[in-house]
Amino acid sequence: MTNCQPCKDLKAIIRILKKQIKADAAAARIYKKELNNLNPLFDKLMGCYVKSTDHVAGLEKEAVEVWDERNKAIQDYNIIYSMLELSTHTFKPKFKDYELPNGDPVSDYTLDVEGKLMESGRLMKEVNLLKIPKKPTHWHTKFRKNCFKFSDIRKKKPIKKKEKKYE
């Protein structure tokens, strides 16, 4: 074998490349160990992220519901206030001479005023008469379904007295 200059150079290049490959393999092993350590941490981080986004979404939904209830309460208050102002000018009669379609006296019922926001931006008054519950209940419950409208109130029919016949 002849030891020519290009052969020596190629052997030197091969030795350098072998050292480079060994160094790259060692670096790959180190990266693989770090990756194995980081995978559980990444999984834990993603789990926390998903939980936090679910929590934030729940809080945003609750905030929307709270604002809706607040706006509804303000609308109802405005309707009640406008009815109060109206009643001071109209001097409506007392309801003792009035009854409901089923014959119950009006005194057994309570007034439920609800304001509905129309598309035009105006508030529409919806006044209902609800039977006063025997037990305290939340105003969101179903007992509001069987109610009368304010327009259902009618004046009691007068009781005719029997005339005495004189003989």
Over its length of 167 residues, how does the chain's per-residue pLDDT go in tens digits? 556 777 888 889 999 999 999 999 999 999 999 888 888 888 898 888 888 888 888 888 888 888 888 888 887 787 777 766 666 555 555 666 677 778 777 777 777 777 777 777 777 777 777 777 777 766 555 666 677 776 677 777 766 666 666 65
Task: Supply the pLDDT for residue 117.
Answer: 74
Cβ–Cβ < 8 Å for 106, 95: yes
Helix or strand (DSSP H, E) at 125: strand 123-131
Cβ–Cβ < 8 Å for 130, 144: yes
Distance between CA atoms of 86 and 57, rounded to whole angstroms? Answer: 43
Task: Supply the pLDDT for residue 85.
Answer: 67
Q: Would you list the domain boundaries of the chain?
A: 8-92, 93-155
Cβ–Cβ < 8 Å for 137, 119: no
Q: Residue 115: exposed, middle, or buried by beta-carbon count in 10 A (0-12, 13-18, 19+)?
A: buried
pTM above 0.85?
A: no
Cβ–Cβ < 8 Å for 112, 129: yes
Task: Supply the pLDDT for residue 16.
Answer: 93
Cβ–Cβ < 8 Å for 146, 130: no
Distance between CA atoms of 16 and 19, rounded to whole angstroms? Answer: 5
Task: Supply the pLDDT for residue 143.
Answer: 61
Alpha-carbon 25 to chain mean position: 57
